[in-house]
Amino acid sequence: MPSALDTNMRFKFSALALLLEVIIIVLFGLFVEYDSNNVSQNTIYPFFQDVHVMIFVGFGFLMTFLKKFGFSSVGINMLIAALGLQWGTLMQGFWHMKGGKISVDIKSMINADFSTATALISFGAVLGKTSPVQMLILTILEITIFACNEHLVTEILQATDVGASMTIHAFGAYFGLAVALVLYRPGLKNKHENEESTYHSDIFAMIGTLFLWLFWPSFNSAIAHDQDSRTKAIVNTYYSLAACTVVTFALSSLVDQRGKFSMVLIQNATLAGGVAVGTCADMSIYPFAAMCIGSIAGIISVLGFKFLTPFMASKLNIQDTCGVHNLHGLPGILGGIAGIIVTAVRKEIRATARFTPDMQAAALGSTIAIALAGGILTGGILKLPFLGQASDQNCFDDSVYWEVPEEEKLYEIHSNNHDEHSRFEATM
């Protein structure tokens, strides 16, 4: 007899996933064709591959820090991204159809990968507290809303955001935080025993951190309009991240009373410089300004993890598992503000003349507003009681949704002094 929190999603999950895949294939059959006009595709293929690694290895492994949620982190990340890149191709393509057809090429694949990043960022906010069925729904809804907002920002408001500080990072973070607010679990007010890392899970997470960090220059330059602005985006991101990393280490030691580094800060705040420099990465801001942006991003991110995330969890009922607010949210806003300032004060260095500070501000505001509204709407849908979410005590535990090696269970029994019989009953 299934309870209110039935986590056996054998038929629900497979039916929904197969249905979505069939719908997508039919839509691809109707609308999608190769872009035969574009012959210089292969020059950006290395950029695509870097972004591709960031999406699947970077985001996937960054979230493996939890001691018993590694399968879900890297596995459900892969599922979201594989579904999302197909859906993103369609959602972004519908805004740019020619003759009723969507053309795909390497550039559209980069954009499709980009679109999945929003859902993966939001996944970080609710990590450990949502079911795979819920994540399928979130992926479809978020990427749909993202594509609309992206169209608004780039086509209607004519704002610039080459590294997507606003349209991906801030959007994904505030969307995810809004979902987390709606799905608030009072039972997790006290720290869950599984919501922590182990020594090796923290090292796995560094695989994600490093591939994100290393390929961020590619992320911020992949869709640049020309060679010159692409090189500037690469250089600016490279130095922003380097400065951010040194500052993050300094702050991580400074905010700890014994002066010790914190893995959660090194894994996350070192990346804030890549987010924050995104909007104006392709402009002639010079490396020293990029380094200032990166340094500020590092400071904001460290302080966010240290003070804001606990505050939001305890006072605002927003439980942000991975601290996406500090890695994507605040640095994304910083990136948007930097874009406003740069377009305002240095007219001569705008990538093209059409970007104005008021449109940049409108883009930032609309992005956050749409993300919050979309997240609340999505959260409401995900709250429907038959979507397989786990009980509070089963949060952050792969064994709810995955076959987990016995050895691991035995270890767990041993270390927790549980009764073996009760556990085996629990899984039946």
Instruction: Give the 3-state secondary structure of residue 32.
Output: strand
C-alpha atoms less than 13 angstroms from C-alpha of 319 in its C-beta half-sphere? 20
Binding track, positions 214-243, relative to a copy of itself; x by CB under 8 A: xx--x--------xx-xxx-xx--xx-xxx
Give the separation between CA 182 and CA 33, rounded to whole angstroms: 39
Q: Kindly state the smallest distance separating residue 182's Cβ from a copy of itself, in Å.
A: 25
Q: Kindly state the smallest distance separating residue 177's Cβ from a copy of itself, in Å.
A: 25
State yes or no: residue 258 binds a copy of itself (CB under 8 A). Answer: yes
Instruction: Compare residues 78 and 376 and give the one whose CB is closer to a copy of itself.
Output: 78
Q: By rule CB under 8 A, what count of residues binds a copy of itself?
A: 116
- Residues within window 96-115 making contact with a copy of itself, judged by CB under 8 A: 104-106, 109
Per DSSP, 327 falls in state: I
For residue 147 the two structure tokens come to: 């594509």
Maximum separation of any 2 CA atoms in the chain, in Å: 72
| Contact call for residues 335 and 160 (beta carbons, < 8 A) | no
Q: Kindly state the smallest distance separating residue 390's Cβ from a copy of itself, in Å.
A: 13
- Residues within window 125-184 making contact with a copy of itself, judged by CB under 8 A: 132
Give the separation between CA 45 and CA 403, rounded to whole angstroms: 37
Interface with a copy of itself (CB under 8 A), residue from 357, 376, 402, 413: 402
Instruction: Compare residues 373 and 404 and give the one whose CB is closer to a copy of itself.
Output: 404
- Residues within window 360-379 making contact with a copy of itself, judged by CB under 8 A: none
| Contact call for residues 299 and 247 (beta carbons, < 8 A) | yes
State yes or no: residue 33 binds a copy of itself (CB under 8 A). Answer: yes
State yes or no: residue 249 binds a copy of itself (CB under 8 A). Answer: yes
Among the residue ranges 31-39, 170-178, 180-188, 319-327, the one whose residues contact a copy of itself (CB under 8 A) = 31-39
Interface with a copy of itself (CB under 8 A), residue from 5, 23, 152, 263: 263
| Contact call for residues 186 and 165 (beta carbons, < 8 A) | no
Amino acid occupying residue 390 = A
Give the separation between CA 229 and CA 368, rounded to whole angstroms: 27
| Contact call for residues 273 and 294 (beta carbons, < 8 A) | yes
Instruction: Compare residues 256 and 358 and give the one whose CB is closer to a copy of itself.
Output: 256
State yes or no: residue 10 binds a copy of itself (CB under 8 A). Answer: yes
- Residue 125: which H helix or E strand, with range? helix 106-125
Neighbours of 79 (CB within 10 A): 16
Per DSSP, 9 falls in state: -
For residue 296 the two structure tokens come to: 């500020």
State yes or no: residue 262 binds a copy of itself (CB under 8 A). Answer: yes
- Residues within window 74-93 making contact with a copy of itself, judged by CB under 8 A: 74-75, 78-79, 82-83, 85-86, 89
Binding track, positions 273-302, relative to a copy of itself; x by CB under 8 A: -----------x-xxx--xx--x-------
